[in-house]
């Protein structure tokens, strides 16, 4: 559930910033630190960080591209559901 809250806050950050790199970087950094805290092996943490960075950049870039469009809501909801599904699997 904390993941949904983090993504919701980062969607708001993405709306304020011009570049999706800011929100992507924050999400990836938080995921990286939390993985290290919970004792995930370092190689797994590094690989997951690159995957997170790519997926979150795509997500926030699509949100930025379709800002003001009706597709924005669809992208936001599908993205949050996907990230929740990935994080709980």
pLDDT of 66-83, one tens digit each? 998 999 999 998 888 887
Q: Find tokens 């924005």 and name the residue.
A: 72
C-alpha to C-alpha distance for 62 and 59, rounded to whole angstroms: 5
pTM: predicted TM-score of the whole model, two decimal places: 0.85
Q: Is the dihedral of CA 60, 64, 66, 67 positive or negative?
A: positive
pLDDT of residue 22: 94
User: For the stretch 65-87, what's the b/e string if a residue is b when 16 or more beta carbons lie within 10 angstroms of its beta carbon?
Assistant: eeeeeeebeebbeebbeebeeee
């Amino acid at each position: 559930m904390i993941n949904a809250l983090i993504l919701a806050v980062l969607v708001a950050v993405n709306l304020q910033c011009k570049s999706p790199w800011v929100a992507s970087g924050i999400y990836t950094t938080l995921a990286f630190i939390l993985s290290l805290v919970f004792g995930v092996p370092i190689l797994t943490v590094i690989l997951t960080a690159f995957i997170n960075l790519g997926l979150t950049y795509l997500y926030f870039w699509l949100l930025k591209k379709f800002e003001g469009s009706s597709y924005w809501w669809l992208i936001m909801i599908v993205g949050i559901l996907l990230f929740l599904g990935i994080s709980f699997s």
